[in-house]
Structure 1
Amino acid sequence: MNWNWGKSIVVAFVLFCGFISSIVVAAFQQDFDLVSDTYYQDELVYQERIQEHSNLAQSGVKVSITQEDNRVIFSFPQEFSGANGEIHFYHPSRSIFDRSFNISLDEARKQSIFGEELTKGRYKVKLSWTSNGVDYFQEEEIFIR
């Protein structure tokens, strides 16, 4: 069999087409989640979030988020003793891992969320609460082990 430049070009072209085809097939098999299903409604209330974050900055205190053993512990300062609101765990890569919990503080102004309720990985924790008629918002990233 005689090997020449023409055959080499055809083989290279066939290999290139196979490579591009495999990339296209792999791309169509990926699952891309939107940041939020209610993206446009969330954008409309964005100014409210800015004000809530500003209220938190003016208060001079923040909610402490720590991990102990197999729990995530939220410690609210004395200023937020009567807090009502929501804790939202946003998982950036898969929306099926997102979880929301109502704020329910104990006598020590703490709330624990057990690790079994969350999938391991990186989360953006969004706390939104009202205390003494003022709305607050705090956002932090954590890694659940």
Structure 2
Amino acid sequence: MKLNWGTSIAIAITLFIGFIMVMVVTMLTDKGFDHDMVTTDYYKKELLFQQEIDAEQNAKNLGEIKGLKTTTGWAIEFPESVAEKEFKGKVSLYRPSDKQLDFELPIVLSGNYLLIPDNRLTDGRWDILITATLDGQPFKYKNSIIY
């Protein structure tokens, strides 16, 4: 049996469409390809954006904030002036690749250091968000780390 051009092209197009359909069904049903939104209240948070900008500016005005890996976890070093002030808030750690690993911690300073314990962090990328009040002023610090 000999195939002509028309039959060969029809078979090739049919196989290609079949391949694309298998890929679409696999991507829609496989939980390994499930990517969540960054936040569930996206539109509500968008309305408060100017307050976020002001809080981030307060953090920049405070001075340089450094992060470093230690044997016990990830330490965030604040300027010396923070140790004497009232600093309340929370630290949110977001794992872009797996929302099951996301967690929050209350801010507990040791001098001017904040320690995120090693047992809570797995290797990979983390987004750190510190939201706090410092002497009544809003404070927001964002950073991405590779642990």
Distance 1:43 1:96 in 2: 24
How do 1:1-145 residues align onto structure 2 when only pairs under 5 Å count?
Answer: 1-28=1-28, 29=30, 30-59=33-62, 61-69=63-71, 71-81=73-83, 82-106=86-110, 108-144=111-147
Q: Deviations over 1:77-131 (max 9, x none)?
A: 222223111111122233222211110012x222222232123211111111212
Q: Secondary structure at the match of 1:120?
A: coil
Report if aligned partners of 1:99, 1:118 keep a CA contact under 8 Å in 2: no
Equivalent position amino acid for 2:17 in 1: C
What is the aligned residue count? 142
Residue 14 of structure 1 deviates from its aligned partner by: 1.9
Aligned partners of 2:41, 2:123: CA distance in 1, in Å? Answer: 25
Deviations for 1:50-91, whole angstroms, at most 9, x for unmatched residues? 0111112223x1322111235101122222223111111122
Structure 1 unaligned segments of length 5 or more: list them.
none
TM-score by length of 2: 0.86
Q: Distance in 2 between matches of 1:4 and 1:11?
A: 11
Deviating 4+ runs (over 6 angstroms): none
Which amino acid letter does the alignment assign opposite residue 95 of structure 1? Answer: K
Q: CA RMSD in A?
A: 1.7
Question: What letter matches 1:53 in structure 2?
Answer: E
Q: Percent identity?
A: 29
**Alignment partners' CA distance in 2, 1:113 and 1:55:** 23
Conserved? CA contact 1:90–1:99, under 8 Å: yes
SS in 2 for 1:35: coil
Segments of structure 2 that go 5 or more residues without pairing to the other structure are none
